[in-house]
Chains A and B, each alone.
Chain A
Amino acid sequence: MATQLLLPSRFEMSALIEIRALNKIYRRGDQQIPVLVDIELDIRRGDYVSLMGPSGSGKSTLLNLIAGIDKPSGGTIYVDGVDIAGISDNELAHWRAHNVGFIFQFYNLMPVLTAFENVELPLLLSDLSKRERRTNVEAVLSMVGLSDRMDHYPNELSGGQQQRVAIARALIMDPMLIVADEPTGDLDRFSADEILKLLQRLNTELGKTIVMVTHDPKCAAQAQRLIHLEKGVLRGSSHAELA
């Protein structure tokens, strides 16, 4: 049975993400394993959504589908009016570059590039000049509090600092959507709190739509909305209490 969730947002705006009859099935030999079943979900612009659920519930798969790095087995995903399930791989790569910022659990920075170069990386897909790129990178790194670490390589930074570089990289193209997969999963409590505050600022001050997968209830409570998945099915949602 399809579950439809139309959750209120602080911003009275249209839905940025519209998911209809979404299914994802993994095939292992002759066996078919349903991971997501008939998902119906709207996420509005400026929402800060936490996806929660036990391991294997399909929350990361849903996040990957929303971010356009995986393809559904059925259904549609409209993001800002674009059916990302129906476009070619090249078009999807171009769409991701300009519309989605990624934050991963293990930061996924290029170890041979400095913090500056890592943040600059997505801008290589834009038409900006070298000077414009430098200005933008410096501004974003300043925003995440790493102006003095621009020339440091990832292995010279703490986990929290690396994640802030990753957040700067996610922001550099000014995407409408930021997806975060366990962004604090590899951090100590103090660093995790700093990252959560930063995400909060991105949402409240810059109006970025954030979809975050987390196991941590405290982390999830930072979001405006909690969405629970269980065995690939949306089980409910609630407004989070601010921590």
Chain B
Amino acid sequence: MIGTYLLRLVMKNMWRHQLRTALTVLGITVAIISFGLLRTIVSSWYASAEFSSSARLVTRNAISLTFPLPITYAEKIRQVAGVANVTWANWFGGIYINQHNFFPQFAIHADSYFDIHPEYVLSYEQKKDFMHDRRGCVVGRKIADQYGWKIGDQIPLRGTIYPGIWNFVVRGIYEPGTNKTDASQFLLHWEYLNERVKSVLPSRAESTGLFIVQLADSKQAATVSAAIDSVFHNSLAETRTETQKAFQLGFVAMVDTILIAIQSVAFVVIVIILAVVANTMTMTARERTPEYATLKALGFSVQFVVLLIVGESIMIALTGGALGMLGTFPVAQAFSKATGSMFAVFEVSSSTLWLQLIAAVLVGLLASIIPAWHSARIRIVDGLRAVA
């Protein structure tokens, strides 16, 4: 009974100063959206690594990713015990119209690439068309929608690693198999690249940047990695093999400092809004000191008064928090659209939503501690005398 009444009183008190409450709620909403967006940016950096297949290894040149490996390595890798299949991919690095239109482009070995990557869902007809057209390309649904590409469209790319204008024909648009699958890849034939490289950059012909290895048993990743690298030990191009997750995390590590900075800003935003809500609640509690004293005089406990203040603070924070959580989705969508294919997967995760909720509750709780403590301590007679 008293709990219901307490809740009603909290709700009524909350909107007594409508402008002040609305502005505070707005501040929390903006802070929670910012927090959610920044968290989503950070988690998106890790997303491709988090959802990498545990049954795949990546083999690259031990010196650096920029150094190629001979294509003949493919057969030698295939002979290693525990290897189920091998394919390769080579970074193309072309520019579509201008540098702002970034999306990953790989020259792939078409025969095996889609076998090892079942998460790239391509229809039988489109795959067949792609296989039969050396200038063909397969693009992810995300970039196809972003640039309005359709099957049969000509896509010119200006090469940066491989000079010249390269024209490709869209022969397939793959759908992401899961909502975590990168749908922003541009895949072209390695054979087509190799053919042209032979004439313009013969030193880079018959090579690739990466081999992607499918394991027969994902538990054998460490053993097979070591076995592959041992095959090319003391060769001209020694290899470094690691799980696809470790490979992706290597890229994330390059921007680790930036990610830490983004995470720090996300938490600073919450601390700032905590100060704003604490200020609101302090003003509120001070204004209502005579009312709290009256309640205590009537026989209500100190705990009741404390719950009134804490409840109101949490209610304000939760209102702003809920609006912020709802607002994060369209803002994240707009951000994703604005940044194009920069993030392979950009979606608000459930863990981000939980963090937003926890942040809102904590803001409400922490902001009310000092006013609640003050109201609990003040003597009834002093409270009744207080000027609102």
Contact = CB atoms under 8 A, between A and B. Distances in A.
Interface of A: 61, 64, 67, 69-70, 89-90, 93-98, 102, 104, 106, 108, 110-113, 121-122, 124-125, 130, 169
A18 B379 CA distance: 24
Interface in B296-334: 296-302
B124 interface: no
B16 A102 contact: no
Contacts of B380: 64, 69-70
Interface stretch (B5-13, B46-54, B136-144): B5-13
Chain A contact residues: helix, strand, loop or mixed: helix
Nearest 4 pairs of A and B residues by beta carbon: A97-B299, A112-B12, A69-B380, A108-B294
A53 to B, nearest CB: 17
Contact of A70 (B291, B301, B381): B381
Chain B contact residues: helix, strand, loop or mixed: helix
Nearest to A127: B1
A67 B301 contact: no
B301 to A, nearest CB: 6
A9 to B, nearest CB: 26
Contact of B291 (A89, A97, A108): A108
B290 to A, nearest CB: 6
B299 A93 contact: yes
Contacts of A106: 290
B2 interface: yes
A69 B2 contact: no
Contacts of A122: 298-299
Given A69-B380, A106-B290, A108-B384, 8 more contacts: A61-B381, A69-B296, A69-B381, A93-B299, A97-B299, A112-B16, A121-B295, A121-B298
Nearest to A120: B5
- Identify which of B295, B298, B384 gathers the most chain A CB atoms within 10 Å of its CB: B298
Nearest to A169: B298
Contacts of A61: 381
A122 B302 CA distance: 15
B9 A97 contact: no
A93 B296 contact: yes
B383 to A, nearest CB: 9
A27 to B, nearest CB: 13
20 contacts: A61-B381, A67-B297, A69-B297, A69-B380, A69-B381, A70-B379, A70-B381, A89-B302, A93-B301, A95-B299, A96-B299, A104-B384, A108-B384, A111-B291, A112-B16, A113-B12, A122-B298, A122-B299, A125-B298, A169-B298
B297 A124 contact: no
Nearest to B11: A112
B205 to A, nearest CB: 81
A64 B297 CA distance: 10
Contact of B5 (A64, A97, A124): A124
- Identify which of A67, A94, A124 gathers the most chain B CB atoms within 10 Å of its CB: A124
A69 B301 CA distance: 12
Contact of A96 (B290, B291, B297, B384): B297
B290 A98 contact: no
Given A93-B296, A104-B384, A111 B16 contact: yes
Interface string B334-369: 000000000000000000000000000000000000
Contacts of A108: 290-291, 294, 384
A154 to B, nearest CB: 11
B67 to A, nearest CB: 73
B381 A90 contact: no
Contacts of B381: 61, 64, 69-70
Contacts of B9: 110, 112-113
- Identify which of B5, B297, B299 gathers the most chain A CB atoms within 10 Å of its CB: B299
Contact of B298 (A90, A96, A112): A96
Contacts of B294: 102, 104, 108, 110
Nearest to A181: B384
Interface in B253-304: 290-291, 294-302
Contacts of B1: 124, 130
Contact of B299 (A64, A98, A111, A112): A98
Contacts of B298: 96-97, 102, 121-122, 125, 169
Contacts of B296: 69, 93
B297 A102 contact: yes
B299 A125 contact: yes
Interface in B7-26: 9, 12-13, 16
Contacts of B12: 112-113
Nearest to B382: A70
Contacts of A89: 302
A94 B384 CA distance: 19
Contacts of A124: 1-2, 5
A64 B383 CA distance: 12
Contacts of B301: 90, 93
Contacts of A94: 299
A70 B2 CA distance: 25
Nearest to B4: A124
Contacts of B384: 69, 104, 108
Contacts of A104: 294, 384
A69 B290 CA distance: 13
Given A69-B380, A70-B381, A125 B13 contact: no
